[in-house]
Structure 1
Amino acid sequence: VLKSAKKDDANLAREIHHHRQFLHPHIARLYEVIVTEKLVWLALEYCPGDELYDHVLKHGRMEAGKVQKIFTQLVGAVSYVHGKSCVHRDLKLENILLDKHEDVKLVDFGFTREYQGATSYLQTWCGTVCYSAPEMLKGEKYAGEKVDVWSLGVILYALLCGELPYDEDDDAATKLLILKEEPKFPEYMPEPAKELIKKLLSKRPILRPPLGDILRDPWLSEHAPLQQEILKLQQPPAFSTQVEKETLQRMRSAGVDIDVVIENVLSQRCDSLAGWWALLIEKEQRKEKRRERKRREKEAEAKSVRRLSAASSRLLAQSALGEIHEEGDVLRSPSARGRRMARPNGSLSLQSPELPRVVESKSPTSDSIQAAARGASRSRSRPAPPPKDPNMPTFGRPRIASRGNSMLRYSTVNPDLLSPTYIPPPQRK
């Protein structure tokens, strides 16, 4: 983003002086100051989003959740400025940009002044009428912090309602409304937001809450802790972090005179070398954040896989036990299997789960094995029986008789031998 101003602009030097020392996530970074013959250009952090003024003009009022985020970030940025003993004095929708994530980026520090606390008062009127506090319009001495709080109240009202609380075509009429009238709240405005706006737009400066109390308001409790943590961070010395040291080493390897870079950065010259350095560091920091995010994602994924694996193992074990129980029709607790039981004589025995019983048989002896082998050998050496003659009469055929399961067989061709009354002849001596 380029912002130009004339070289003789009285507020230009003050803006550069203050802006270059503000390093906050919700303040647009000033990278370089380019001086030409007639103009001075400020190279700021790129913000592709609209100004809040253009956003409200196009889309109207915002939803409460989005307003909470934007307003809390804005309060955090203003708190940072006050922590640097400065006051902005020109807070308005036109000076608030949105980046690609729709996060707040505060700009335009032309009216910024050093401020020495509650006992120090300012007197110069500056800013825009419709955002100005009553004491400033009266020409009285005012506390810079309380003026910024009033402007924050106007911005919060505009974001929720889509219009300014005090805005007339005539500046005099607008001043009169600011001094005499209370803002009118629509029915759709959340009650907690309404109570906060009433505090911020109090006519008496002493009744306006400090920025720390605003961040502790219950309506901003969702986003306030992050801003409080950012405010607690301490900016490390230049060139002290590991990222900066590694970047310097790479620049030296590329032939860059790093002594000049260090001198320009430490003196806050806002030239091309200092701007280049700031852009390089921001790029490396984004890379580091991405690596850290991927590392956390991988750790979370590995943890999830381990958890699922353990659950699957338990399910498989339970399923296997269920199958065993169904087959045996006996339900036993896992602790009962393999439990040691005491024998009557006092010794311990291991009780194993019931197994199917198998009938025991004696192992064959060597003698029976040899006998079986001889029988098999004789059966193999016996000649095959002669083929049957189909022309032989029935009475002449060999008759085979069997009795029971006996293995004995006999054959004959004499039918008298088969007669029950047959008497064999005496044997010859």
Structure 2
Amino acid sequence: MVLECPSPCENLIEIMRRCGGSLDEETVRQIMWQAAHAANMCCLCRVLHRDVKLENLLINRETSEVKLIDFGCGDILRRSPYKSYHGTAVYSPPEYHSRGKYYSRPATVWSLGVLMFTMLCGRFPSDYDLFLLHYKHWSEPGLSKECCHLLRALLHEKPSRRLGLGQIMSHNWFKVVNLRPAKKN
């Protein structure tokens, strides 16, 4: 299979446009749990997706099931650092720009943080947003403290201080409700 786009699915960009440019916290929570789960499963299968972004997440409008697509930038997961970035630049981790290398899981966590920020705010995080997040001064009206805490944990400048990929789904922000999509009969 080269590309799957089952009906009635649409990518996250289309959904955000239809919803006025950003999504409410509850919707983002539903999507993020599944996106983090998908990215983690890829790594557990020794696959680095390397391009987790809005366009590469399909959402089934009827079931709210999320699918991670387009592995064209993917690579075999390894323990050694990667020295080239083949994904979308705005999702690339800061350590790649400062040191010219990055590790798979922390880079994936960074991409998920950019994804979450963009869904909530309708724009990519600016350097100023990242500065405020780092110093725990960033907030957005209507977002819970747990939501802002998770964003800080995903978008930490230092890869070693980011939340682990396998720990994302255990964050308190996800403990509000059952986040798994409805199963088809």
> Same fold by TM-score, threshold 0.5 exceeded?
yes
For 1:116, give the aligned amino acid. Answer: R
The residue number in structure 2 matching 1:187 is 141
Supply the RMSD in Å over aligned alpha carbons.
2.3
CA distance in 2, matches of 1:139, 1:47: 42
Specify the code of the residue in structure 1 equivalent to 2:69.
V
Q: Which position in structure 2 is the counterpart of 1:196?
A: 150
8 Å CA contact 2:47, 2:76 repeated in 1: yes
Cα distance change, pair 43–52 in 1 and its aligned pair in 2 (3 A): closer
Question: What is the DSSP-based 3-state SS (H/G/I as helix, E as strand, rest coil) of the residue aligned with 2:10?
Answer: coil
The answer to whether 1:142 aligns with 2:96 is: no
Question: Are 2:36 and 1:75 aligned?
Answer: yes
Q: Secondary structure at the match of 2:101?
A: coil
Deviations 1:305-336 (A, max 9, x none): xxxxxxxxxxxxxxxxxxxxxxxxxxxxxxxx
TM-superposed CA distance for 1:45, in Å, is: 4.7
Matches within 5 A, 1:284-299: 290=185
Residue number in structure 2 paired with 1:46: 6
Give the match's secondary structure for 1:50.
strand
Of 70, 82, 105, 1:108 maps to 70
Say which of 167, 172, 179 aligns to 1:218: 172
Deviations 1:369-428 (A, max 9, x none): xxxxxxxxxxxxxxxxxxxxxxxxxxxxxxxxxxxxxxxxxxxxxxxxxxxxxxxxxxxx
* Structure showing greater Rg: 1
Percent identity among equivalent residues?
Answer: 28
Shift in Å, 1:43:
4.9
| CA distance, structure 1, for counterparts of residue 24 and residue 4 of structure 2 | 29
Aligned to 2:111: 151
> 2:44 and 2:154 mapped to 1: Cα distance?
19
Residue 114 of structure 2 aligns to a residue whose secondary structure is helix
For residues 6-49 of structure 1, the C-alpha deviation after alignment (integer angstroms, 9 at most, x for no partner) is xxxxxxxxxxxxxxxxxxxxxxxx3xxxxxxxxxxx35251423
Q: Structure 1: which amino acid aligns with 2:81?
A: Y
Determine helix, strand or coil for the equivalent of 1:202: coil
AA of the residue aligned to 2:149: E
- On the 8 A contact 2:3/2:69 being kept in 1, the answer is no
Structure 2: distance between partners of 1:47 and 1:87: 27
Partner residue in 1 for 2:159: 205
Report the CA distance between 1:165 and its aligned residue: 1.2
Task: Give ranges in structure 2 of 5+ residues lacking alignment.
Answer: none
The alignment of Structure 1 onto Structure 2 pairs a total of residues equal to 176
Spell out the pairing of 1:353-372 with structure 2 (5 A cutoff): none
* Matched AA of 1:198: R
Which residue of structure 2 lines up, in the alignment, with residue 61 of structure 1?
22
Aligned 8 A contact 2:96 2:102 in 1: yes
1:165 aligns with 2:151: no
Structure 1 unaligned regions, length at least 5 = 1-29, 31-41, 167-176, 228-285, 291-429
Change (3 A) 1:65 1:107: same
Q: Is the 8 A contact 1:64 1:160 kept in 2?
A: yes
Counterpart of 1:187 in 2: which secondary structure?
A: coil
Q: Does residue 123 of the first structure (1) align with residue 83 of the second (2)? A: yes
Deviation, 1:54, is 1.9
Q: 1:44 to 1:69 in 2, by over 3 A?
A: same
User: What SS does structure 2 have at the residue aligned with 1:90?
Assistant: coil
Residues 125, 137 of structure 1: 8 Å contact kept? no
Decide whether aligned partners of structure 1 residues 78 and 223 sit closer, same or farther in structure 2, where only a CA change above 3 A counts.
farther
CA distance in 2, matches of 1:217, 1:48: 30
Which of structure 1's runs of 4+ aligned residues deviate more than 4 A? Answer: none
Aligned-pair CA distance for 1:58: 2.8
**Residue aligned with 1:138, SS:** helix
TM-score by length of 2: 0.85
Q: Tell me, in whole angstroms, the C-alpha distance in 1 between the residues paired with 2:165 and 2:74.
A: 17
Q: How does 1:223-302 map to 2 (within 5 A)?
A: 223=178, 290=185
